Amino acid sequence: MKLSKTEEQLMDIIWKYEQVFFKEIIESYPEPKPASTTVATLLKRIQDKGFINYKLFGNSRQYYPLVKKEDYFSRSLKEIVKDYFNDSSLQFASFFTKNSEMTADELEDLKRIVEQELNKKKR
């Protein structure tokens, strides 16, 4: 299931805090802050999609993620590779290294990461 950009922005707050009350969510937004009714609607939609749940503390709800940020973005990246790069990680990696404006140092770091992964797979 995919999140909209505004839902992702809200999820970033929830992922950051791991457990967060509604008031803290509102306070975490940059100016201009969205209306509380807008945030409440987004929370309901995200909950309906299975990304969050909450615990009740009196009349207050403490929200927490059900999906890890890394898992969500990993799934999203797989969809991008499938949809835009013919399901080819190689095509994606080639595009990424050529078009991301990485510095020479960053490319060297990436090379080391690739070499480490190669060594793991060879074992």
Question: Tens digit of pLDDT for each residue in 9-35?
Answer: 999 999 999 999 999 999 999 999 999
Number of domains the chain is built from: 2
Residue scoring higher pLDDT (97 or 64): 64
CA–CA dist 17, 23 (Å, integer)? 13
Report the distance separating Cα 69 and Cα 55, nearest Å: 20
Could you give the percent of the chain with pLDDT greater than 70? 100
Q: Are residues 60 and 111 in the same domain?
A: no
Q: If we measure between CA atoms, which residue out of 33, 55, 4 comes closest to residue 25?
A: 33
**Domain coverage including residue 16:** 5-65
Tell me the DSSP string of 24-86: HHHHHSPSSPPPHHHHHHHHHHHHHTTSEEEEEETTEEEEEESS-HHHHHHHHHHHHHHHHST
pLDDT at 1 over 90: no
Q: Residue 123's pLDDT is what?
A: 84
Task: Work out the mean pLDDT of the chain and round it to a whole number.
Answer: 94
CATH assignment of the domain containing 15 = 1.10.10.10
Residues 61 and 12 in one domain: yes
Confidence of residue 84 (pLDDT cuts 50, 70, 90): very high
Which pTM value belongs to this model?
0.77
Q: Which of 2-6, 12-16, 98-102 has the highest mean pLDDT?
A: 12-16
In the chain, the N- to C-terminal Cα span, in Å, equals 35
Q: Is 112 helix (H, G, I), strand (E, B) or coil?
A: helix
Average pLDDT over residues 97-122: 91
DSSP letter at 46 equals H
Q: What is the mean pLDDT of residues 101-105?
A: 90
